[in-house]
Amino acid sequence: SQQGEEDPQALSIQEGENATMNCSYKTSINNLQWYRQNSGRGLVHLILIRSNEREKHSGRLRVTLDTSKKSSSLLITASRAADTASYFCATDGKGDNYGQNFVFGPGTRLSVLP
């Protein structure tokens, strides 16, 4: 079963608006990462947040992590048509010695309309 669950499954907004996606997970983690995927191609790494961090920024991206609620959110500000893609959260299970067995959620499909 998948660890992460993104919400909503699909999101449609106008260019310039902000987009917020949420991710919930079930077990303790070392870190949580967000990836973007365009049109069923390879995944592009966006940002990593560690379990001892609460918020992280990268350009127009803002990620928060609440380990007590086992949830994370990804905020994309001032969205552009080029942000149209599927967004996935991936968790790295705590206690995993190699820390590389990512568990992905089903993703949020974001459509940014011009």
Partner 1 sequence: DAGVTQSPTHLIKTRGQQVTLRCSPKSGHDTVSWYQQALGQGPQFIFQYYEEEERQRGNFPDRFSGHQFPNYSSELNVNALLLGDSALYLCASSHGGAETQYFGPGTRLLVL
* Cis preceding linkage at 8, omega within 30: yes
Q: Indicate whether 25 belongs to the interface with partner 1 (CB under 8 A).
A: no
Binding flag, residue 8, partner 1 (CB under 8 A): no
Of 27 and 101, CB closest to partner 1: 101
Q: State yes or no: residue 95 binds partner 1 (CB under 8 A).
A: no
d(CA 86, CA 92): 20
Q: Does 88 bind partner 1 (CB under 8 A)?
A: yes
The reply to whether 48 sits near partner 1 by the rule CB under 8 A is yes
C-alpha span between 54 and 66 (Å, rounded): 7
Tokens of 13: 């907004």
Residue 12 has φ and ψ, to the nearest 5°, of: -125, 125
For partner 1, give the closer residue by CB, 46 or 76: 46
- The β-bridge partners of 31 are 50, 92
What residue ranges bind partner 1 (CB under 8 A)? 2, 4, 30-31, 33, 35, 40-45, 48, 88, 92, 98-107
